[in-house]
């Protein structure tokens, strides 16, 4: 299966971000708490290298609490400010204002010494597609100022949002990178919905996810779908199709529909809180 997806709007977006970086004090990098490393775009890391930095593990509600804590520690040990948030429900938002001020302390101090008072912090909100950048901005602003959607590629251009007299945020389109060195990374980004589903093979993706679940979260599939977990992931997928009455004409099992349903169950948290990668794999 090929995961590469780098449409023209991402090339344009990257250029726009490079052009705007000189205006920026702080890069707020959103990652998906279920895949905190695989959802980091090296281009964004490069872009932010001389800026104040903040990593937000968004969608923390969908990942395991204990793993979230381990990942926070992991990033903090590497010298980043890092916080977990749930942008959909607004969890963790209250502390964000002070975290932003803290991350920009040097800049605020520098301004003060030069006699510049009350210049707002300008922060670029960046990340791969569908991690929740626009939702985060809306949640922090307390109103819907940007368009959001449960698919990658919703935001197509830049948008400045003035939060208050202290902070201005730049919403940016999600960007991937031209080539994944590691296919495993591509697969994980496909699981979380950061790659356009149209280019994916849903049954193959579901089979891989089933394999992961059986290995790391045994018993969940049995409980959720009332099926027997077996080594053959495709047999499991057929069992899910049967238990969910996914049928084609002539009562043939519709495993494609079952695959889409299963992947959606994972993406929306209906299989429980699931983390797909662990800090010890990256030490």
Ligand X SMILES: Nc1nc2c(ncn2[C@@H]2O[C@H](COP(=O)(O)OP(=O)(O)OP(=O)(O)O)[C@@H](O)[C@H]2O)c(=O)[nH]1
CB-wise, 145 or 154, nearer to Mg ion?
154
CB-wise, 58 or 208, nearer to ligand X?
58
- The reply to whether 36 sits near ligand X by the rule CB under 6 A is no
Q: How far is the CB of 51 from ligand X (least distance, A)?
A: 19
Q: How far is the CB of 155 from ligand X (least distance, A)?
A: 3
Task: Out of 36, 48, 174, 186, name the contact with ligand X by CB under 6 A.
Answer: 174
Residues 169 and 113: their CA atoms lie apart, in Å, by: 24
b/e per residue 249-282 (b: at least 16 CB within 10 A): eeeebbbbbbbbbbbebbbeeebebbbbbbbeee
Residues 106 and 166: their CA atoms lie apart, in Å, by: 15
Kindly identify the residues of this chain, within the stretch 42-61, that bind ligand X according to CB under 6 A.
58-59, 61
Kindly identify the residues of this chain, within the stretch 82-101, that bind ligand X according to CB under 6 A.
86-88
CB-wise, 59 or 67, nearer to ligand X?
59
Q: How far is the CB of 151 from ligand X (least distance, A)?
A: 7
Q: Which residue is nearest to ligand X (CB)?
A: 174
**Which residue do the tokens 């590691």 mark?**
182
Strand blocks (E) in the chain: 26-32, 52-58, 81-84, 121-126, 159-162, 167-171
CA distance to 33, 203, 241, 254, per residue, from 261 (Å): 22, 11, 9, 11
Kindly identify the residues of this chain, within the stretch 116-155, that bind Mg ion according to CB under 5 A.
133-134, 154-155
CB-wise, 122 or 273, nearer to ligand X?
273
Tokens of 36: 């905190």
- The reply to whether 68 sits near Mg ion by the rule CB under 5 A is no
Task: Out of 36, 132, 191, 266, name the contact with ligand X by CB under 6 A.
Answer: 132
Kindly identify the residues of this chain, within the stretch 96-125, that bind ligand X according to CB under 6 A.
none
Residues 279 and 283: their CA atoms lie apart, in Å, by: 7
Q: Which of 213, 211, 208 is nearest to 224 (CA)?
A: 213
User: How many Cα neighbours within 13 Å face the side chain of 9?
Assistant: 12
Which option in ligand X, Mg ion, none does residue 194 bind, with CB closer than 5 to 8 A by kind?
Answer: none
Helix, strand or coil for residue 172? coil
- The reply to whether 202 sits near ligand X by the rule CB under 6 A is no
Q: Which residues contact ligand X (rule: CB under 6 A)? A: 58-59, 61-62, 86-88, 127, 129-135, 148-150, 152-155, 173-174
Q: Which residues contact Mg ion (rule: CB under 5 A)? A: 133-134, 154-155
């Amino acid at each position: 299966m090929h995961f590469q997806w780098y449409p023209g709007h991402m090339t344009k977006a990257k250029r726009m971000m490079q052009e705007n970086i000189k205006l920026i004090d702080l890069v707020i990098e959103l990652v998906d708490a279920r895949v905190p490393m695989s959802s980091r775009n090296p281009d964004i890391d490069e872009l932010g290298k001389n800026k104040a930095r903040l990593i937000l593990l968004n969608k923390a509600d969908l990942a395991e609490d204990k793993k979230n804590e381990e990942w926070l520690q992991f990033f903090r040990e590497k010298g980043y400010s890092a916080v977990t948030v749930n942008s959909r429900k607004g969890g963790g938002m209250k502390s964000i204002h002070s975290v932003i001020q803290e991350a920009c302390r040097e800049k605020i101090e520098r301004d003060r010494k030069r006699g510049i008072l009350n210049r707002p912090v300008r922060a670029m909100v960046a990340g791969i597609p569908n991690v929740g950048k626009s939702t985060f901005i809306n949640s922090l602003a307390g109103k819907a100022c940007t368009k959001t959607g449960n698919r990658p590629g919703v935001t197509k251009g830049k948008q400045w949002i003035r939060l208050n007299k202290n902070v201005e945020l730049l919403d940016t389109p999600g960007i991937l990178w031209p080539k994944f060195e590691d296919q495993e990374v591509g697969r994980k980004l496909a699981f979380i919905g950061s790659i356009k589903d149209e280019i994916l093979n849903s049954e193959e993706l579901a089979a891989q996810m089933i394999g992961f679940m059986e290995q790391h979260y045994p018993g969940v599939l049995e409980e959720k779908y009332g099926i027997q977990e077996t080594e053959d992931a495709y047999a499991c997928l057929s069992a899910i199709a049967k238990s969910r009455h996914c049928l084609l004409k002539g009562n043939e099992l519709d495993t494609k529909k079952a695959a889409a349903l299963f992947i959606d169950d994972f993406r929306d948290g209906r299989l429980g809180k699931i983390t797909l990668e662990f800090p010890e794999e990256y030490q």
